[in-house]
Amino acid sequence: MKKVNIIFLSLLVLVLVTGCGTTEDKEEKLVCTTTEKEDGMSVEEVISMTYKNDKLKRMTMEVNTTITDSDIQENWQKFKKHMDENNEEFNKDGVSLKVEVNDQNYEYNTILDIDIENASEDILKEQGFEGLKNDKSTLKDSKKSAEEDGATCEIKPIK
């Protein structure tokens, strides 16, 4: 009986010291930014990727274009029409594209939001993100790859 009590007490101490084995979901956001200025335009791209337990769950891409050259500004309506033809707003199957235009400041911004779990394969393929659901890249892999491509990245915890 004494052996059983010692084993029981040892197990109890082990459980108290190590915890009950609960794991808390860890959510983090990777935010990467690139900026290019050329040909009379300034283009800033901000990609936010939300990871839960190191698996990509959501991705948002914001592309903010500002026309800085007066010659191009004179053709703003043509530029805007061309951009509109390539960026029709939609919201379906876990993917949405929103367009914001500021005519006074010659700004054309697009926001593509992808809910990885709810996005259909067809819409992902249509938007050029085929295979995104099965991507096994970790947050650190994505950060390294983006920085190798010239982006500035920051990891932010989600509370």
10 found inside a domain: no
134 secondary structure, DSSP code: G
More confident residue, 136 or 1: 136
Calculate the alpha carbon distances from 59 to 32, 54, 98, 99, 134 in Å: 11, 14, 14, 17, 14
User: Which CATH number characterizes residue 84's domain?
Assistant: 3.30.1830
Q: How would residue 135 be classed by pLDDT, with cut points 50, 70 and 90?
A: confident
151 found inside a domain: yes
> Domain limits at 77?
24-157
Give the per-residue pLDDT at 23.
Answer: 56
43 found inside a domain: yes
Is pLDDT above 60 for 6?
no
34 found inside a domain: yes
pTM reported for the whole predicted model: 0.79
Number of independent structural domains in the chain: 1
61 found inside a domain: yes
